[in-house]
Structure 1
Amino acid sequence: MTETTRADATSAETTADDRPGVGSTPAAGETEVLAGAPPHRLARLITERLMREGLPMAYTQVVPKDAATLILIDRTGPEPKVLVGRRHAAHKFMPGKFVFPGGGIEPGDRAAPAATELDPGAATRLMRAVRHPSPTKARAFAMAAVRETFEETGLLLGRAGAGATSVAPLPSPDGPAAAAAAAAGPDAAHAWAAFARAGLLPDLSALQFIARAITPPRWPRRFDTRFFAVDAAAVAGRVEDVVGPDSELVELVWLALDDAEQLDLAPITLAILAELDHRIANGFRPDLPVPFYRWSRGRMQRSEL
């Protein structure tokens, strides 16, 4: 597979040899930064960064967990900025690094109501290279990104609830539906109850599906992450005191895209920011191809969904 081929439509992971170091090796003396690099060079640059940092060898194959993340973009100034948060140093995955808010998919994400639905093209791309694809599963990725953003930042992305399109009722914080949601996961129940109290429902039409990436093999924790982006104007409310020294994210930063290399960001995070920069330069259109990063034959590969 070349770095810019179309993704296989039937499997999320390649069957090729995934042993670190097998395949092409990075060019000697390469110093190019990831931030601002053209898309066709990003996969190679990620590989080189990972090789320099050292690839883990002690873990057996871990099945990636479905996850979703959301990138808030502020385009009101002369230069776009994105919201990132620094993870608590005690976390096992990316401790102390700056990340986008996000996390795993919860059962309640499939049935929770929304004010608007995803762009059909985004929903179609979310179902590519997925086992057991379905519109419900595609929608759950977007709902999880909105929910996780609230849980980690306190930001509510939505519209007034009168325009709900889902047949599922919005649970009352004290009603039986909320109790059922709590059985599926206390964090999810808390998040959707907060939306209910604010009179809001998630605005999925505002989200763009912009990238997907799978953590390389032999990492202790692996995620198959869908990256969404949304304009910061979609933030309709905020709950205070969510971010702090004892929280999952200890601080939030609005980061200018040109300053991405100044913070402690993972190589894939830098690559996604470069992809976002390229997307903004091309009009931030929802019909643009969606890059898909995954490890194959000893290096990171970039395809398009």
Structure 2
Amino acid sequence: FHLEKEPEVVVITIAGKDKVAGEEKKSSRQRSLKGDLKVNLAHLKDKGMLVPEVSQSQLAEEYRIVKRPILDNVEGQDSNGIERANLVLVTSSLPGEGKTYTAANLALSIATERDKTVMLIDGDVAKPSISKLFGIESKKGLIDLIEGEVSFQDVVLRTDIPNLSIMPAGKLHEQSTEILASSAMKKLISEISSRYKDRVIIIDSPPLLAATQGAVLASLVGQVVMVVESDKTPQHIINEAVEKLSSCEVVGCVLNKSRKGFGMGYYYGYGNYAE
């Protein structure tokens, strides 16, 4: 779906759990001596995440539907005119709609593909929820990389889940918006997209109406997944958030926390929030 003006929105309903809890009690992942991260699958399962043992579940099937148009755009990026299609931003209008839950599950689902690898980047630098979810504590990451303090290899943490790696948010910085909007960030994003065309980069972004970083990141990627909390987020809030995505060609929407569930009013189609 190639967009020229207003971002057209693909809506996909997810009958998932509520958002991932903001506070984690203890690190659920540990860094091994080889520099890898061992995934605590029991912890992720407890949080309602898509772990290998639930590959035949309703949740797994829903994310197969979510990821397919995204991967189709990645596969056809040389012919469909979508620049940086392998860079996918996951965001929402407001906090608490389930963007981190969606970003993590989308990455876990793509990791099961036979010919794709996926990197999950914690781009919510003020509130690094991906890092909390996976138990990554006090690690250098995206901000440190942009600032030139570390190399790319230093901040990409391999996991013991095949095809999945994670880049933490890195240090807190009062000028994080300016750093994300810098020429160094644009150069980094361009290099990642062109150098790793077989790798899908999922970026967990701050909510669009809660922080300016979300709109900045959206201007750098080829695809955006907008997470909307079912029956809660007001239409005018959604409209306001979508207006901040005008720089991105492809915008999809995941309707999260739906009580209807798969097979009961499951919806997949096209719409435009501006209408």
Normalising to structure 2: TM-score of the pair? 0.30
Question: Bigger radius of gyration, 1 or 2?
Answer: 1
In proportion to residue count, which structure has more strand? Answer: 1
Normalising to structure 1: TM-score of the pair? 0.28
